[in-house]
Amino acid sequence: MKAWLLLLLAISALAWAQYSVAFYVSPSGYITVYIAGIPQGHKVLLHWGVEPYPQGPWTVVNDTPMVWNGANYTATIGPFKNGTWVAFVFYDATSGVWINYEGTPFWNWNVEVNPPNLGATSVQVLPNCSLLITAVGRAPDVMAIHYGLTSGPQTGLPWANVADVVMEYNPLWGNYTAVVGPFQPGQWVQWVYHDLSTGLWISKNGSNFAAQVACAPLSLSAAYPYDRYVYVVGETAHISIGLQNPSGPVNATVTLAIGPLKMAERAALKRGLNYVNFTLTVDIPQGIYTPSLAVAVGNATLLNTTLPQFYVLNTTGKPPVSLVIVWNMHQPLYVEPNGTWAMPWVPLHTGEDFKWGGRYVGSYELQALLLSQFNVNVSIDFTPVLLYQWEALLAEGPGGFKYLGYYPGNITYDIEAVKRTLDLYRELAAEGRIEVLTVPFYHPLEAIEYDNGWADDLLAQLLMGKEMTYRVFGVNASCVWTPEMAFNMGLVHLYQEAGLNCTVLDAQAFLPSATYINGSQNPYVPYVVEDSEGHYIYALFRDDDLSNLFSFYLFTLSDPNLVKQLLIQYLAKVYMKQPGAVVVVALDGENPLIFNSMTGPRDLYAIYEALSQYSGKWLVTQTVSQAIATHTKYAVTNLPESSWALNLNNWNNGYPGKIAIWRAVALAREYLVAFTKALGGRQSPVVELNPARIPNSTGLLPTLWNYLYVAEGSDWTWQTGPPNFGPGWFSLQPIIYADAILETINESIAKIVPISIGPYQNGSALLVDNGLGMPIRLALGAGGKCYEVALKPGLNEIPLAGVKAAELDVYLPADVYEVPGYVVPPSPCGLKIAAWTPPPATTLSAPTTTATSPAPSAAAGAAYAPYLTALVLAALVAALTAALARRRR
């Protein structure tokens, strides 16, 4: 509606309030009209005409001067024939003001003179099962309806619940109306009219009027009525209320109340869906209001209900809420030690999760596409093992891709999607649109491994993760995703040592039990987490309720608008309680999309669209580092050991399959530590990886340590047994890698062959061929004594003073302090790896070492006894038992 017309209507309504109008129709056809409210002395005209029906075109137009009678102005016009329709308005010629009915332009007073069709009736059943009865009467007489309940339409039936209601005369249409009821559906009602001014009873040609109540209720449309989910004080709200009217047309008054605001609109509700619109300036205090809506016809209420909550924020002098979204993009290693891909999920989820924009895209690419489209800041970690597999796919190409079985997708397309996806994220990172976090390389369960004494492995994986993140994105990450948010205070110094200064944890798991150096428990502020030695990191704590809403609900909704509403109104509630809050959403980034492929993409679009639309006065999106840098921090210490699951049971709960995995990893680790020491290598090294050789490194020891890091991943125990009962493949994969370590050590030691043993001085001399191709330090046990030996490549003669026995135990050097979490306790000699029974030699010269290696005899080969086979088989049996139990469930 034009602004000038709205202004005119407002002025007219105010002016109309000062006038009162009355009229009288004589039996002879004269109409006498009165108007009060015009000052004495004004020239007032009665502007009138004859019309064919109410509000119809005038065929006779006259202006009759009105006379002041001491109280008001009056004029008499006529006579008119019975049944003539006459319309009139007033003109104050002195002030130049037209006076229309109810102050509305073009509305007239309409009168039928002594109507010959008295009692002509129309009936409408209202949605609330009342009757809207309209009748012709002798205006302006007082007219009543006399009615009762009956069993049918026939005159003469007994009435029940007899009542009388005075009808309302409507000058605009020149008729009388009354609303009676409500009644029960199907009820018959009979009535007659009574002209109380003349005493005349009016019937339907001697019979009663009758109607049956056939009703359906007026209902509120489910459509969201507001143009915004949250309003700021001073904004304009456009409200469109949908009303479903199953009955016939009705002229109703729709009243809306929002707190202290109250407004009403007249509405002609036709059959079907109708929209009633309100526009208002939001000038009410901050709060969450429940608006009330009433729809009425006369004194009958057709609908009395409430609307969805109406959110109002006052942003004056308040900082905005910062929303920090952290997506954890993670896949474990799906490649076997021989380089064969055992599962399709990395390429498949990169290229073919669903259709978007007319082509297939994966969950990772969709995230990048939407982040490129919308103005939001997010933080994303790509587990380095995922990046490693992406790089491997690019290095292999479609022709080099080896898959165990039939690949269920288009590998050429999926590898192209890998390149597209990485290019998109590189652009986003270069533009500063996303913050890239790093992760320990294979997503280990850090808290448990730290407790096992494997902190050096964790540090190596942290450094490897940083290197891979830099290699792929050119980003030197300063923040780290803690896998499964499984944290303890021992990780603080590891993160600091790795050059990482911040992480994200679970508020419910950690904050209630923490010791506060300053501040108090509050999930909406950054914290300095300080250990007992003064090491510290920064931490944000996720909002568990909102994170779970993302994880388990928002992406399941088929209505993206509901997604927007739930998200924005949740954040508004936080703002009301704590302006300036840092609200953290942290979860696995691909799972909501993968598990909800039909709804998830649209819902993610809705999330980013809503955040873009509402960013500004009261809401901003920030990365982890941005939020830490721009907010006051509390200090805390003594965080408990826990995870997002509130404990570590999901990964170590006593289930035999989980025990088998941890035992296999621990066994492989202790022998690898000892083997590395024997070869003079570095323990827990930062392994150099070439994706083209996945999962192998540049040498023997780096490859074996990489295998160990693979086996330390958290996914294996997460998927094994309760509470998740994942596929059996996950239970076997860490066992396979642990077994590969032990078998390789076994095979390496098998290359060291005892050739012979013979008497020498007061003991024996042992001839050994080291076919390993590198020096190695071992310990030999005989007669309760340990003999440390250093073997060069090739033939070695070793004196063994005091040794007469022909059987020797072979040990890798290690003590209990070097192999924390051991399965096999090291003896004083070390970890037993083999037993030798070398053949006797007839004579031996003084011990020497030669560079040549004669071929070992069959007897010498038979003397080698692989000690680890039984241990490996035990771990494999336990894992297979767990997998089979899972398949039988």
* Domain assignment of residue 604, yes or no: no
Q: Mean pLDDT, to the nearest integer, of 519-543?
A: 97
Cα–Cα distance for residue pair 874/660, rounded to 1 Å: 9
Give whole-number Cα distances, 487 to 504, 639, 648, 684, in Å: 10, 8, 10, 21
**Region class of 864: left (phi > 0), else alpha (psi between -120 and 50), else beta:** beta
Give whole-number Cα distances, 339 to 342, 343, 694, in Å: 9, 12, 6
User: What does the angle CA 763 – CA 768 – CA 769 come to, to the nearest 5 degrees?
Assistant: 170
- Burial letters for 325-348: b for 16+ Cβ neighbours within 10 Å, e otherwise? bbbbbbbbbbbbbeeebebbebbb
Proportion of the chain above pLDDT 90, given as a percent: 86
pLDDT digits (tens, 9 = 90+) for 388-406: 999 999 999 999 999 999 9
Same-domain pairing of 632 and 736 = no
- Candidate from 220-224, 535-539, 565-569 with smallest mean pLDDT: 220-224
Of the candidates 224, 225, 148, the one whose C-alpha atom is nearest the C-alpha of residue 188 is: 148
* Domain assignment of residue 569, yes or no: no
Average pLDDT, the chain: 91
pLDDT digits (tens, 9 = 90+) for 639-675: 999 999 999 999 999 999 999 999 999 999 999 999 9
Structure tokens belonging to residue 185: 């559906």
Q: Mean pLDDT, to the nearest integer, of 575-591?
A: 96
CA dihedral 286→292→295→301, nearest 10 degrees, is -150
- Candidate from 140-144, 185-189, 804-808, 817-821 with smallest mean pLDDT: 804-808
Q: What is the pLDDT of residue 556?
A: 95
The radius of gyration computed from the CA coordinates of the chain, to the nearest angstrom, equals 45
* Domain assignment of residue 735, yes or no: yes
Phi and psi for 226 in degrees, rounded to 5? Answer: -100, 155
Same-domain pairing of 178 and 230 = no
* Domain assignment of residue 593, yes or no: no
User: Cβ neighbours of residue 328 under 8 Å, at least 6 residues apart?
Assistant: 381, 383, 439, 481, 586, 587, 588, 589
Residue-number span of the structural domain to which 674 is assigned: 668-889
* Domain assignment of residue 43, yes or no: yes
Of the candidates 476, 474, 446, the one whose C-alpha atom is nearest the C-alpha of residue 458 is: 446
Q: Mean pLDDT, to the nearest integer, of 553-570?
A: 97
882 pLDDT higher than 90: no
Q: What is the pLDDT of residue 874?
A: 52
Q: Mean pLDDT, to the nearest integer, of 671-686?
A: 98
Instruction: Find the CATH number of the domain harbouring 454.
Output: 3.20.110.20
Q: Which residues pair with 328 in a beta bridge?
A: 381, 588
Residue ranges in 500-599 assigned as alpha helix (H): 507-510, 544-552, 560-577, 591-594
Other CB atoms within 10 A of residue 677 CB? 21
Helix (H/G/I), strand (E/B), else coil: 7: helix
Other CB atoms within 10 A of residue 406 CB? 6
Question: Total structural domains in the chain?
Answer: 5
Same-domain pairing of 95 and 130 = no
Q: What is the pLDDT of residue 842?
A: 61
Task: Name the domain boundary from 266, 285, 313.
Answer: 313
Q: What is the pLDDT of residue 868?
A: 52
Helices (H) and strands (E) in the chain, counts: 20, 48
Instruction: Find the CATH number of the domain harbouring 157.
Output: 2.60.40
Residue recorded with tokens 């729709």: 254
Residue recorded with tokens 């009403």: 264
864 pLDDT higher than 70: no
pLDDT digits (tens, 9 = 90+) for 497-512: 999 999 999 999 999 9
Instruction: Find the CATH number of the domain harbouring 102.
Output: 2.60.40.10
Residue recorded with tokens 């090739």: 794
829 pLDDT higher than 60: yes
Q: What is the pLDDT of residue 179?
A: 95
Give whole-number Cα distances, 527 to 113, 319, 510, 634, 857, in Å: 85, 19, 12, 5, 67
217 pLDDT higher than 90: no
862 pLDDT higher than 70: no
97 pLDDT higher than 50: yes
Same-domain pairing of 333 and 258 = no
Q: What is the pLDDT of residue 872?
A: 47
Q: Which residues pair with 244 in a beta bridge?
A: 219, 273
User: What does the angle CA 345 – CA 350 – CA 354 come to, to the nearest 5 degrees?
Assistant: 95
Same-domain pairing of 496 and 392 = yes
Same-domain pairing of 224 and 208 = no
Q: What is the pLDDT of residue 673?
A: 98
Q: Mean pLDDT, to the nearest integer, of 775-791?
A: 94
Same-domain pairing of 189 and 240 = no
Q: What is the pLDDT of residue 60?
A: 87
Amino acid at 167: M
Of the candidates 824, 808, 813, the one whose C-alpha atom is nearest the C-alpha of residue 871 is: 824
Of the candidates 516, 515, 575, 566, the one whose C-alpha atom is nearest the C-alpha of residue 545 is: 566
- Candidate from 69-83, 103-117, 772-786, 834-848 with smallest mean pLDDT: 834-848
pLDDT digits (tens, 9 = 90+) for 129-180: 899 999 999 999 999 999 999 999 999 999 999 999 999 999 999 999 999 9
851 pLDDT higher than 80: no
User: Cβ neighbours of residue 867 under 8 Å, at least 6 residues apart?
Assistant: 832, 833, 834, 835
Q: Mean pLDDT, to the nearest integer, of 465-473?
A: 97
What is this structure's pTM? 0.81
Phi and psi for 642 in degrees, rounded to 5? Answer: -165, -170
Q: What is the pLDDT of residue 5?
A: 32
Residue ranges in 221-373 assigned as alpha helix (H): 345-351, 363-373
Same-domain pairing of 80 and 145 = no
Q: 500: exposed, middle or buried (C-beta count within 10 Å: 0-12, 13-18, 19+)?
A: buried
881 pLDDT higher than 70: no
863 pLDDT higher than 50: no
Task: Name the domain boundary from 212, 236, 265.
Answer: 212
* Domain assignment of residue 406, yes or no: yes
Q: What is the pLDDT of residue 844?
A: 45
pLDDT digits (tens, 9 = 90+) for 351-370: 999 999 999 999 999 999 99
Proportion of the chain above pLDDT 70, given as a percent: 93
* Side-chain-facing half-sphere of 874: CA atoms under 13 Å: 13
Residue ranges in 43-183 assigned as alpha helix (H): none
Cα–Cα distance for residue pair 608/586, rounded to 1 Å: 15
DSSP-assigned letter for residue 574: H
Same-domain pairing of 309 and 335 = no
Q: Mean pLDDT, to the nearest integer, of 435-460?
A: 98
Cα–Cα distance for residue pair 706/709, rounded to 1 Å: 5
Same-domain pairing of 854 and 721 = yes
Q: Mean pLDDT, to the nearest integer, of 232-259?
A: 93
Q: Which residues pair with 787 in a beta bridge?
A: 780
User: What does the angle CA 352 – CA 355 – CA 361 come to, to the nearest 5 degrees?
Assistant: 40
Residue ranges in 526-638 assigned as alpha helix (H): 544-552, 560-577, 591-594, 600-614, 624-630
Q: Are the C-beta atoms of 768 and 752 separated by less than 8 Å?
A: yes
Same-domain pairing of 19 and 70 = yes
Task: Name the domain boundary from 82, 112, 142.
Answer: 112
Reported confidence tier of residue 17, pLDDT bands at 50, 70, 90: low
* Domain assignment of residue 484, yes or no: yes
Same-domain pairing of 514 and 367 = yes
Phi and psi for 263 in degrees, rounded to 5? Answer: -150, 155
Q: What is the pLDDT of residue 834?
A: 95
* Domain assignment of residue 570, yes or no: no
591 pLDDT higher than 60: yes
Phi and psi for 428 in degrees, rounded to 5? Answer: -60, -40
Q: 14: exposed, middle or buried (C-beta count within 10 Å: 0-12, 13-18, 19+)?
A: exposed
Residue ranges in 631-752 assigned as alpha helix (H): 656-679, 700-711, 714-719, 728-750
